């Protein structure tokens, strides 16, 4: 199955002055990513003339907080100003955010865990129930987050580390690209790169060709522009040509009724269309 990543600019929150609204906007992006099983969210610097470290870090920490199971958040995140309005972030309700109680645990079930301490028998891990689970392998450090599978449920819950893929959607990871989108593209991490723009080719006109390349790709990146500057403008300001750096520039919202489409709106619309066409 294709690994899907989306790239959103730091400026996605630049037109929103208040932290509460910034938090809400990031929440929409995280929620859309989870709905359509996005594996990675890249937050990239899109304005070389401005210091965007604050916005990059804010977006990243909010997305990471959303992706973390509720039972691990207090251990992994300190109380800080950037998370002041984290309570308004929508719940992901993905498979790795279980609402089950201890009594409903089952052998073979997957869980995210946090290594609490080391004992003679192995590592004690918090998996979101009253009792710590025992991980007999000791290859993880205290404080590490680990994907686990329950192998024994009884007086002592025992788990094992998952080395391969979990057979269901298991959330996204967050990557921060502090240089530029072009630097990310130059790394060649993705087999297929699709940029979105109102100035791009109508999606229906390239859907067939895109579908063929999608089938052969192992990793796909969907890139989105900023609220006030699209990808063509961002590329021009940095001195490179968008059409030469990506495989397709697609207009996924043709004949839009508004003057502009916000990034979080474009993310949801684009993922919706691609999911229907390609069933990723």
Cβ-count burial 138-152 (b if 16+ within 10 Å, e if not): eebeeeebbbbebbe
pTM across the whole model? 0.95
Cα 167 from Cα 185, distance rounded (Å)? 29
Residue 4 burial (10 A CB sphere; 0-12, 13-18, 19+): buried
Instruction: Return the domain boundaries, the chain.
Output: 3-92+171-278, 102-161
In this structure, are residues 225 and 9 in contact, taking their beta carbons and an 8 Å threshold?
yes
- pLDDT one-digit tens code per residue, 165-194: 899 999 999 999 999 999 999 999 999 999
Q: Would you state the pLDDT for residue 104?
A: 67
CATH number of 3-92+171-278: 3.40.1280.10
Taking phi over 0 as left and psi of -120 to 50 as alpha, with beta for the rest, 128 belongs to left
Domain 3-92+171-278 shares a fold with domain 102-161 = no
Cβ-count burial 266-278 (b if 16+ within 10 Å, e if not): bbbbbbebbeeee
What is the third-level CATH fold of 102-161?
OB fold (Dihydrolipoamide Acetyltransferase, E2P) (2.40.50)
- pLDDT one-digit tens code per residue, 78-132: 999 999 999 999 999 999 998 765 446 889 999 999 999 999 999 999 999 989 9
């Amino acid at each position: 199955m294709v690994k899907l990543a989306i790239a959103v600019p730091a400026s996605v929150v630049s037109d929103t002055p208040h932290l509460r609204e910034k938090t809400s906007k990031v929440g929409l992006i995280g929620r859309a990513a989870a709905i359509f099983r996005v594996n990675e969210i890249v937050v990239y610097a899109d304005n070389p003339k401005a210091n965007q470290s604050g916005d990059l870090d804010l977006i990243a920490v909010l997305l990471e907080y959303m992706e973390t199971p509720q039972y691990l958040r207090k251990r992994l995140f300190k109380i800080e100003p950037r998370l002041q309005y984290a309570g308004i972030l929508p719940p992901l309700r993905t498979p790795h955010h279980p609402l089950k109680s201890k009594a409903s645990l089952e052998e073979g079930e997957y869980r995210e865990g946090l290594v609490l301490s080391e004992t003679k028998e192995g590592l004690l891990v918090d998996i979101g129930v009253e009792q710590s689970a025992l991980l007999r392998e000791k290859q993880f450090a205290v404080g590490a987050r680990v994907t686990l599978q329950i192998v024994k449920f009884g007086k002592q819950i025992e788990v094992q580390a998952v080395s391969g893929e979990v057979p269901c959607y298991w959330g996204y990871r967050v990557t921060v690209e502090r240089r530029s989108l072009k630097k990310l593209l130059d790394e060649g991490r993705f087999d297929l790169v699709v940029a979105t723009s109102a100035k791009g080719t109508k999606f229906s006109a390239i859907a067939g060709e895109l579908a063929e390349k999608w089938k052969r790709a192992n990793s796909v990146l969907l890139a989105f522009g900023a609220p006030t500057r699209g990808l063509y403008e961002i590329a021009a300001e940095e001195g490179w040509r968008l059409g030469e750096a990506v495989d397709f520039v697609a207009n996924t919202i043709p004949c839009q009724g508004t003057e502009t489409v916000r990034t979080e709106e474009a993310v949801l619309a684009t993922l919706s269309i691609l999911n229907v066409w390609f069933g990723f």
